[in-house]
Structure 1
Amino acid sequence: MKRVVITGAGTINALGKSVPATLEAMREGRCGIGPLDIRDVDRLSVRIGGQVLDYDPEDHFNRQQIVLYDRFTQFTLLAAKEAIAQSGLVFEGDLAAHAGVVLGTAGGGVTTWDDNYRAVYEEGKNRVHPFVVPKLMNNASASHLSMEYNLKGPTFTVATACSSSNHAMGQAFHMIRSGMTRAMVTGGSESMLCFGGVKAWEGLRVMSKDACRPFSLGRNGMVQGEGAGIFVFEEYDHARARGAEILAEVVGFAMTSDASDIVMPSKQGAARAIGAAMADARLNPEDVGYVNAHGTGTAANDKTECAAVADVFGHHADDLMISSTKSMHGHVIGGTGAVELLACIMALRDGVIAPTIGYEEPDPECALDVVPNEAREAKVDAVLSNAFAFGGLNAVLALRRA
């Protein structure tokens, strides 16, 4: 079994348009959630989100590219540019032939769907652009990324709702660990902050109208975000031989299905995923110092997740730090685990634990150290990243300090 390390990271999200900007915002406990700036926002009952503001596609892409790139694809390519540049890899020859892309997204080109439904149903047009299908398909960002960087190996998209990017990164991890390839570009992206995307989520009645307050007694729902997190996963010996900077080591992954309810989370399913990821990584409870929680801010998720963590860690749960960065950047849906992995890397590399902001009052059913409101300095050697999706699909990654 090969060792797998992370040698590049990139992002764009509501907290920042790069990794350094995002980590600075996390350290400061800054909130990227605010009023939405989208068409027909006055027709929505939920009018806040973790939106990427001051963003103009024409600053980054030409007119022909914009015709092909939905907003989620644009975010992917911008984050990938940062990640691949940091990794220092050039994909050519044998490396290019085997290196690939595995990305997560729940909805794909939701803004493209929204724009074209408007054109057909509201404006009465009978034709849409010939490239609407290539623009909105879930695999568009993975395909464009492979073309941009000459990645000719295994390339596909994972769509498992809010666990999509963790599932994607888990597959990339397995491919390198098994020896199938030496490098993979992986992560996830999402951009659902358009009228139809927000209206659909409103129907679930799980959305907050004012703030995301994970684990706090007064929490009243989740807040959508958007963006991308992209990473270069690489085989350890390959990275070391070329003198690459190693950000962290990926040491374990597990996935489970609740097989119980399409929307309600299961403590047992979550606990099995957490425990299995630790077993895969050969980690004992006392080895793990921090868990980046799924932490959506809904009553059901937060208490269920805390119960699952407490079950797995036993009396060591009292020494464990757990936080939800969704309180800052919102729930990036299929891309959320990828953006949140940055907090895990920050914990391992910089010894800084990202806080759960908006925390007002302890909830007896969430009686863990949730790092409330302010970042904390602490040395940790191993961390977990949780993702639990509608449909009962759970995916947990385990990382070690390099």
Structure 2
Amino acid sequence: MTRVVAITGIGLLTPAGPDASTTWQGLCNGRAYAQTDPVLAGLPVDFSCPLDGFDPRALLGRKLAARTDRFVHMALAAAAQAATDSGLDGATANPRRVGVVLGVAANSAASYDAAFGYQLTGDYDLVSPLTMARSLPNMAAGEVAAHLGLRGPNLTISTACAAGANALGVARDLIRSGSCDIVLAGGSESGRTRSAALWFNRLGALSTRCRDPQSASRPFDRDRDGFVLAEGAAVLVLERLDHARARRAPVRALVAGYGAAGDAHHPTAPHPEGRGITDAITAALTDADLTPSDIDHISAHSTSTPAGDLVEARVLHRIFRGRPPAVTALKGAIGHSLGAAGAVQAAVAVLSLCHQAIPPTANLDTQDPAVDLDIVTKAPRQRPQRTVLSNSSGFGGANAALILQAP
């Protein structure tokens, strides 16, 4: 039992809602949350999936909000939600045995944009002295630890869009190794910056449906043309099962398996045969002592890019011997939150187990005939499920797979 790791709390902020309950309802209604974004005005791609109504000053106070950046704001909010959901406080845990591991892909490009602008114009005195501290990628984990008084290992994982999933895997291993009793783990990212929108567009990775943003992110659809930048955060409380039971914490799910693998192929393109995805899923199944037939539902990485979606679909078809279980792809609704995406998927997978339902994939109107998968669309699918596989991939050939089980 000391090696069994439970999830006892969920904190979640997505374009579908500012918390876990609202996000779940927002995903289940089947709509997409992309919209024209004034932050990106004048750029070739001027839309994103933002967190509407998120006011860090109201949540964190004016002083803390002013000295930290948006990816830190979201991490702090999600961590506070998760700690409350878990019933975690100073009286129930030894702070030296509680760690923080968060995934962040690119840290705060917004601060860089502002500082570089002043450098180019020679207005050096207008560069904030807080720029360095605001923009370091480890500041999300550092600020969460400081805010909650957590003195265990404090780590940041940066594996592009697999970072949130890798953070959960590393957190699980810290607990299983005996280094921690509890770890707050997940990811936080805001892709809504002018530099990110320009760079990804120049790479050809973004959808260019500026006239109809809501239909832009189309996982596994025949007419997909790229992903939609988004922001979001998810923090889960991972905890040794016996420790959770001793303090009577709610056990939402178990982290049954984790696998990570590299493509060793290309900086941005997936391996054409999905070598890294295959190895990560296989490692997770082995770690969980499960077979493909034990998986009841797959949360796909599927970003809505022409190449990436097809590679992932073929891998799933091959691993599950032509009969994969039901698949959903959240990015059709809430876009791609980069380093946070894998943690968001994991949090929603836990909610799927709690509700015994699979949320639909938004904007899948005409399934690509080359994608031979049973994809949930239009409405949630109610079905008994015990085990969920969540896939994540990122630039640099990073791949991560998590297997979550009902307790």
Q: Answer yes or no: same fold by TM over 0.5.
A: yes
CA contact (8 A) 1:27 1:352 kept: no
Q: Classify 1:223/1:123 alpha carbon distance in 2 versus 1 (closer, same or farther; 3 Å).
A: farther
Give distance in 1, aligned partners of 2:90 and 2:141: 15
CA contact (8 A) 1:92 1:150 kept: no
Are 1:27 and 2:28 matched, yes or no? yes
Give distance in 1, aligned partners of 2:203 and 2:55: 31
Secondary structure of the structure 2 residue equivalent to 1:243: coil
Query: Once structures 1 and 2 are overlaid, which stretch shifts more, 379-388 or 109-118?
Result: 109-118
CA contact (8 A) 2:49 2:334 kept: yes
Give distance in 1, aligned partners of 2:124 and 2:181: 48
Measured against aligned partners, the alpha-carbon deviations of 1:15-35 in whole angstroms (never above 9, x if no partner) come to: 110110000111111321111
Report how far residue 52 of structure 1 moved: 1.0
Match runs of 1:228-307 below 5 Å: 228-266=233-271, 267-307=274-314
Measured against aligned partners, the alpha-carbon deviations of 1:31-82 in whole angstroms (never above 9, x if no partner) come to: 21111131xx332111121111223332223332123210000000011111
Measured against aligned partners, the alpha-carbon deviations of 1:340-385 in whole angstroms (never above 9, x if no partner) come to: 1122112211111011110111212211011123211111110111
- Give the TM-score, by structure 1 length: 0.96
Find the counterpart in structure 2 of residue 364 from structure 1. 369
Query: Once structures 1 and 2 are overlaid, which stretch shifts more, 51-60 or 64-73?
Result: 51-60
Find the counterpart in structure 2 of residue 223 from structure 1. 228
Give distance in 1, aligned partners of 2:123 and 2:150: 41
Give distance in 2, aligned partners of 1:3 and 1:148: 28
Find the counterpart in structure 1 of residue 177 from structure 2. 178
CA contact (8 A) 1:285 1:316 kept: no
Give distance in 1, aligned partners of 2:120 and 2:195: 13
Find the counterpart in structure 1 of residue 159 from structure 2. 160
Root-mean-square deviation over aligned CA pairs: 1.5
CA contact (8 A) 2:71 2:188 kept: yes
Give distance in 1, aligned partners of 2:284 and 2:259: 5
Report how far residue 244 of structure 1 moved: 1.3
CA contact (8 A) 1:303 1:365 kept: yes
Are 1:202 and 2:201 matched, yes or no? yes
Match runs of 1:345-364 below 5 Å: 345-364=350-369
Give distance in 1, aligned partners of 2:375 and 2:177: 35
2:380 to 362, 375, 379: 375
- Give the TM-score, by structure 2 length: 0.95
1:177 is aligned with what amino acid?
R
What stretches of structure 1 of length at least 5 have no aligned partner? none
Moved over 6 A (4+): none
Give distance in 2, aligned partners of 1:303 and 1:120: 43
Give distance in 1, aligned partners of 2:128 and 2:268: 35
Are 1:313 and 2:320 matched, yes or no? yes
Report how far residue 339 of structure 1 moved: 1.2
Are 1:144 and 2:143 matched, yes or no? yes
Measured against aligned partners, the alpha-carbon deviations of 1:228-285 in whole angstroms (never above 9, x if no partner) come to: 0011000001111222111110011010000011111121211111111111011111
Query: Once structures 1 and 2 are overlaid, which stretch shifts more, 191-200 or 143-152?
Result: 191-200
Measured against aligned partners, the alpha-carbon deviations of 1:289-348 in whole angstroms (never above 9, x if no partner) come to: 11100010001111100111111111432xx01111001110000001111112211221
Secondary structure of the structure 2 residue equivalent to 1:64: helix
Query: Once structures 1 and 2 are overlaid, which stretch shifts more, 95-104 or 62-71?
Result: 62-71
Query: Once structures 1 and 2 are overlaid, which stretch shifts more, 116-125 or 255-264?
Result: 116-125
1:264 is aligned with what amino acid?
A
Give distance in 1, aligned partners of 2:354 and 2:106: 32
Give distance in 1, aligned partners of 2:121 and 2:361: 41
1:178 is aligned with what amino acid?
S
Match runs of 1:317-336 below 5 Å: 317=324, 320-336=325-341
Give distance in 1, aligned partners of 2:77 and 2:323: 40
CA contact (8 A) 1:357 1:374 kept: no
Find the counterpart in structure 2 of residue 110 from structure 1. 109
2:255 is aligned with what amino acid?
V
Secondary structure of the structure 1 residue equivalent to 2:363: coil
Report how far residue 122 of structure 1 moved: 4.3
1:345 is aligned with what amino acid?
V
Give distance in 2, aligned partners of 1:42 and 1:188: 27
2:313 is aligned with what amino acid?
C
Q: Classify 1:93/1:285 alpha carbon distance in 2 versus 1 (closer, same or farther; 3 Å).
A: closer
Query: Once structures 1 and 2 are overlaid, which stretch shifts more, 286-295 or 122-131?
Result: 122-131
CA contact (8 A) 2:317 2:372 kept: no
